[in-house]
């Protein structure tokens, strides 16, 4: 589907020709160049199986795996809840709820805390998807644009649904007509743009980070990948936080904007 720049391909061919004349080191170099030329194959989703006429890709399967992991962790941490928690699992959950509550409070105020499950689910799910490359052989679903754009569309639809439910259809329509009904088409376009921007931002950052790690793993598997992977953990957290913060801001625009 994609290939690396032609200069790298030519370098790989030259290294292969020289390696054919002898030299184990050059042979290894040729192999690395050849693997670099197919680096995107390591990141692209592939078909796992067909469910009737529906193709099930690695992205879908990996997303299911992450969902099971989250559900299992949540069950283990939330069972036998206590009013005054003694177990570390419940304490971590309460810290997390307070963290999400802080985000919600800034955008929606104290009355917006009923949306903590919605906002908290967004952050937690995206975070686990971003960091799923810790599972051996796992391609993070957020390196697939289908996943990230799906998140963007679903989030904007959910925000609009909540706005209708909380404020009513008339308030929702008024938002699109503010400050002038002529602006309604542009405001609608803005919603579509928000869905696109959420998806492309998450995809671009996660795909780029994973690609860099893959390339460095091929070139220097014992030296370079580790610091980049540590940076990837930070990047995964930041991208989940940014997506969550923007989702809260968009929701606030509907509920607190008028």
* Same domain membership, residue 109 and residue 7: no
* Same domain membership, residue 143 and residue 27: no
pLDDT bin (cut points 50, 70, 90) of residue 72 is: very high
* Same domain membership, residue 12 and residue 107: no
Q: Quick one: pLDDT at residue 32?
A: 63
Length of the chain (residues): 258
DSSP class of 143:
G
Phi, psi of 22 (to 5 degrees): 125, 155
* Same domain membership, residue 225 and residue 119: yes
The answer to whether the CB of 146 falls within 8 A of the CB of 238 is no
CA distances from 2 to 40, 41, 81, 145 (A): 7, 9, 50, 15
In a domain, residue 93? The reply is no
Q: Which of 5-19, 98-112, 164-178 has the lowest mean pLDDT?
A: 5-19
Average pLDDT of every residue of the chain = 82
Q: Which of 67-71, 138-142, 156-160, 239-243 has the lowest mean pLDDT?
A: 138-142
162-214 pLDDT, tens per residue? 999 998 998 888 888 877 788 788 888 999 999 999 999 999 999 888 888 77
Structure tokens at 51: 């469910």
Count of other CB atoms within 10 angstroms of residue 106: 13
Q: Is 80 left (phi over 0), alpha (psi -120 to 50) or beta?
A: left
Q: Quick one: pLDDT at residue 134?
A: 81
* Same domain membership, residue 238 and residue 157: yes
Q: Quick one: pLDDT at residue 8?
A: 38
* Same domain membership, residue 31 and residue 149: no
Residue-by-residue DSSP string for 26-42: HHHHHHHHHHHHTGGGG
For residue 17, give its domain range.
Answer: 1-37
Q: Quick one: pLDDT at residue 27?
A: 60
**Structurally, how many domains does the chain consist of?**
2
219-230 pLDDT, tens per residue? 776 666 677 778
Is pLDDT above 80 for 9? no
In a domain, residue 233? The reply is yes
In a domain, residue 238? The reply is yes
In a domain, residue 191? The reply is yes
* Same domain membership, residue 18 and residue 110: no
In a domain, residue 72? The reply is no
In a domain, residue 56? The reply is no
In a domain, residue 74? The reply is no
* Same domain membership, residue 16 and residue 108: no
Q: Where are the beta strands (DSSP E) in the chain?
A: 47-51, 54-57
* Same domain membership, residue 204 and residue 114: yes
In a domain, residue 59? The reply is no
* Same domain membership, residue 110 and residue 31: no
* Same domain membership, residue 24 and residue 141: no
Is pLDDT above 90 for 25? no
Structure tokens at 239: 């991208």
* Same domain membership, residue 199 and residue 106: yes
Is pLDDT above 80 for 141? yes
């Amino acid at each position: 589907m994609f290939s690396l720049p032609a200069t790298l391909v030519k370098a790989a061919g030259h290294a292969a020709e020289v390696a054919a004349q002898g030299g184990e080191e050059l042979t290894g170099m040729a192999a690395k160049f050849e693997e670099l030329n197919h680096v995107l194959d390591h990141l692209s989703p592939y078909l796992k199986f067909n469910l009737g006429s529906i193709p099930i890709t690695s992205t879908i399967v990996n997303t299911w795996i992450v969902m099971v992991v989250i559900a299992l962790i949540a069950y283990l941490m939330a069972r036998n809840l206590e009013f005054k928690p003694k177990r570390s699992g419940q304490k971590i959950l309460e810290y997390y709820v307070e963290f999400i509550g802080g985000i919600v409070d800034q955008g929606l105020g104290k009355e917006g805390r009923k949306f903590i499950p919605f906002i908290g689910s967004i952050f937690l799910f995206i975070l686990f998807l971003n960091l799923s490359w810790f599972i051996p052989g796992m391609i993070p679903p957020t390196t697939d644009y289908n996943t990230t754009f799906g998140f963007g569309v679903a989030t904007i639809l959910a925000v609009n649904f909540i706005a209708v439910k909380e404020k009513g259809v008339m308030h929702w329509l008024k938002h699109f007509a503010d400050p002038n009904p002529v602006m309604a088409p542009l405001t609608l376009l803005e919603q579509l743009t928000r869905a696109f921007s959420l998806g492309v931002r998450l995809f671009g950052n996660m795909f780029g980070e994973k690609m860099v790690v893959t390339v460095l793993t091929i070139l220097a598997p014992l030296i370079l990948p580790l610091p980049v992977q540590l940076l990837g953990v930070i990047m995964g957290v930041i991208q989940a936080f940014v997506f969550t913060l923007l989702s809260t801001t968009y929701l606030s625009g509907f509920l607190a904007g008028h």
